[in-house]
Structure 1
């Protein structure tokens, strides 16, 4: 979940800052036909350019953001047997997955946690928590690494960026339509865009962006199943299931990081309804059941 949250937060910040800056400098005038009415064709092009720019910038700085936010210690020269094994295992799994070996790191956290990020499959970062290394067996850690390398090999971050670019485009597009409606219909402003337009647009972008994140989360959940399949292929189905079961057994234990930073998929039970659509990972029970049905 960590890579998803970092990506979405960075993406939202980039888009909002770009929107506010462009509005302050009067670039919204290019999206009107007579200074008042919106030109929907130009508006859509404008939103697509800046919507995809936000997601691509987030993608390109994702590895840097992950390093800064989690205090990762990238392993360049292994100092312990754990680090030596981690590098060797990552190298083996990457070779079998057909990608260049990613940077490998360890971050200080008690809970079992791991994530992968990076702008392409040959320039990625894979990291595991210190707690996972201390409490999980080598086979289980290998399965977790294989899962994360599966994300890299499947190009999940790039695909996520493209999906988010589309989401950004339509969020910005409809937010400006809402802003224009509020400005003209409710505040009766007929002399160009007033303060109501800008305030309503920003508010609508935040609300629509939150609601539209359900699309990104749905995509993320689908990709988790695929990454589990890669993990099972590379490390063995039994090891992959064992890793997920170990994660499930540790649910509810005290942790040293906020729940919002849980990455590999620790979810408390099968959630339903409104909450479920905003989950970045499927419940562990569903993932275990899906793995048991694989014929590998």
Structure 2
């Protein structure tokens, strides 16, 4: 229920903010008696495409803390938490960023993620299972991987890519819908039922194709973050951490994390153009080749 409530709240915020922005820009209806006003349509799609993407980015830490049950370490309570804080501080200094908030979430799967709207206001969290089963040098490599995501600006870059993709999916879907309604169905007003159906179908098809672009960048950023883990921590430890994760996933472990937060772990075992993460064996081989 919490995730559903947050989802509805986010979509409501998108509608409100987008409406305000469109009003300030003086953008009217993109559908006229003579057809589509392409300039208004492009602005309309860009506002909705980017507003949704950036609202998700700005509230990412807030949502992560609540949906994943992240327990922040403000004051270390034991030696393990003190080591975790000291390690993140050390890695952040090496990467040249402000130390992120540090947290642990109560999951037995081995996983970790980084999120936040900019490189100096991030959150890095690791699962309890990872801390319990990985060696300390492997945990350090995983943390370095997450710090790499933050230092590389992966969150903001992914949001920009998602905003562009959203914009053009909406834009071309409505052009296709108008063409179907006016030309194929001979509806002179271009506002018939055919427009809505054709636009919906086009958004689904174009959205599927566009998701390949987003997934491709996501896979690319994983290789870069692995390189950061090897550089900031230790290449051998980074490889061993991936191998340990590979062994666990081979035993049938499934990630319960939202896809947007699967930063270190695998993405449900997918190995296709839609996978957000490269195969673990490819990541391991890339680290070996770079050595």
C-alpha separation in 1, matches of 2:214 and 2:126: 24
The 1:268–1:248 alpha-carbon spacing in structure 2 relative to 1, beyond 3 Å, is farther
CA distance in 2, matches of 1:244, 1:51: 35
1:100-249 to 2 correspondences below 5 Å: 100-249=98-247
* RMSD between superposed Cα atoms in Å: 2.9
Matches of 1:137 and 1:62, distance apart in 2: 29
Choose from 40, 51, 63 the match for 1:53: 51
- Kindly indicate whether residue 250 of structure 2 is the aligned counterpart of residue 286 of structure 1: no
- 1:4-19 mapped onto 2 (5 Å cutoff): 14=11, 18=15
**Hey, what does 1:266 align to over in structure 2?**
266
For the residue of structure 2 that corresponds to 1:293, the secondary structure is helix
Distance 2:255 2:269 in 1: 20
CA separation of 1:219/1:79 partners in 2, compared to 1, >3 Å: closer, same or farther? same
Q: Residues 155-206 of structure 1: CA distance to partner in whole angstroms, max 9, x if unpaired?
A: 0011111111110110010111122123323443323523432343244323
Q: In the alignment, is the contact (CA less than 8 A) between 1:269 and 1:285 conserved in 2?
A: no
Residue range with higher mean Cα deviation, 106-115 or 180-189: 180-189
Aligned residues: 277
Return the structure number with greater relative CO, CA threshold 8 A, min gap 6: 1
**Does structure 2 retain, via aligned residues, the 8 Å contact 1:265–1:282?**
no
For the 8 Å contact 2:146–2:263, the answer to whether it is kept is no
- Where 1:112 maps in the other structure, the secondary structure is coil
Give ranges in structure 2 of 5+ residues lacking alignment. 20-25
SS of 2:126's partner is: strand
Mean Cα displacement is larger for which, 103-112 or 138-147?
103-112
| Aligned 8 A contact 1:241 1:291 in 2 | yes
The question of whether the paired residues in 2 share the 8 Å contact of 1:178 and 1:204 is answered with yes
**Structure 1: gaps spanning 5 or more residues:** 1-5
TM-score normalised over the length of structure 2: 0.85
Please state whether the residue corresponding to 2:97 is helix, strand or coil: coil
Distance in 2 between the 1:215 and 1:48 partners?
18
Q: Residue in 2 aligned with 1:87?
A: 85
Give secondary structure in 1 for the equivalent of 2:104: strand
